[in-house]
Amino acid sequence: MTRTVCLDGSLPGYHFQKGFGSGSNNWLLHIEGGGWCNSIETCEIRKRTALGSSKYMDPLIPFDGILSHQSSQNPDFYNWNIVKMRYCDGASLAGHPESEFKNGTKLFFRGQLIWEAIMSELLSLGLSKAKQALLTGCSAGGLATLIHCDDFRAHLPKDATVKCLADAGFFLDEPDILGNRTMSNFYHDVVQLQGVAKSLHKNCITEMEPSKCIFPQQIIKNIRTPLFIVNPAYDFWQIQHVLVPAGSDPDGYWRRCRLSIQKCDSTQIENLQGFRSSLLKAVGKLQHDKEGGMFINSCFVHCQTWMAETWHSSNSPRINNKTIAESVGDWYFNRKVTKEIDCPYPCNPTCYHMDFTQPS
């Protein structure tokens, strides 16, 4: 049997907080984010960090935002069984061992096996009897949520309410400011390196190049499980890696703008509005899906569900006076249709904007 291990060969892991009271039969799984590795060199570096090896992971981590057991911070899910799956394979839990190198390179591509092994263990701990369940994740974990959403559904009781929430995982297949397809080429390398195609939808990989099928705008065409997208319209990670990646701005015109939206001039803002339009077009299918939901706010931020400040607090970002937590809860429990799309920057005073030009 092929061992289930992280990039470096260490065992994968998860953190678990038991549910109580009315939430004891409900489960929330959150998949950690942290980018990807697209070459032997970058995976070798990664395997010496907590994103490639459990040797470097903290045994205890804070559970905040959507993971919190405090009702004031997490009104709808606070008493659920809450699991945080650690991310240590470098390919959104979708790598396959057939792609490992037999030439002495000690790298293990077992993301799909890690997903299956952790699911199997959680099912035996009570997930198999879940009444309500939510699979969620942020960034690369948001992408993993989209990849595994229907599989998660398939493992749970037919009469359970099962839904998925991707936070800052809606990466766009857009050219950068020079017209190069930087993100597309990067994903192509990840998919090739780790054999990710086997985890992607068959309908898609028969129609197009497999690395196109890892982009969320393709994945959502085949997802059958109710899905909610939380994504800022000006996701700083995407602005810094998709739209203005390192190397695309040799003269430094974008240097300050890519670090803080408040430092952008009117031409740059026009570019960012174009990027926002591409996101709205890419999530268009969810607009017409009666079971889908979204919260697209006009903030310069990345993940927003696992921090109390952005998930649900007195100064959280709001659209139509609702926090992300309230919007997700309304959608999950069918209290009301939730398709929140913010007006363009700079119209929302509740936004939490990151500023990387400030010394931390």
What is the C-alpha to C-alpha distance for residues 167 and 141, in angstroms, rounded to an integer? 8
Task: Answer whether 43's CB lies under 8 Å from 148's CB.
Answer: no
Q: Catalytic pick from 89, 235, 298, 342? A: 235
Residue 137 near residue 167 (C-beta atoms within 8 A): yes
Q: Which amino acid is at 161?
A: T
Question: Among the options 139, 199, 278, 316, which is catalytic?
Answer: 139
User: What tokens were used for 2?
Assistant: 């092929």
Report helix, strand or coil for 286: helix
Q: Which of the residues 148, 302, 312, 353 is marked catalytic?
A: 302
C-alpha 28: how far from chain center: 15
235 catalytic residue (yes or no): yes
The single residue listed with the structure tokens 């570019």 is 271
Alpha helices in 155-227 (DSSP H): 182-194, 202-207, 216-219
Instruction: Name the strand (E) or helix (H) holding 339.
Output: strand 339-341
Residue type, 344: P
188 is catalytic: no
Asked if 76 is an active-site residue, the reply is no
| Residues recognised as catalytic | 139, 235, 302
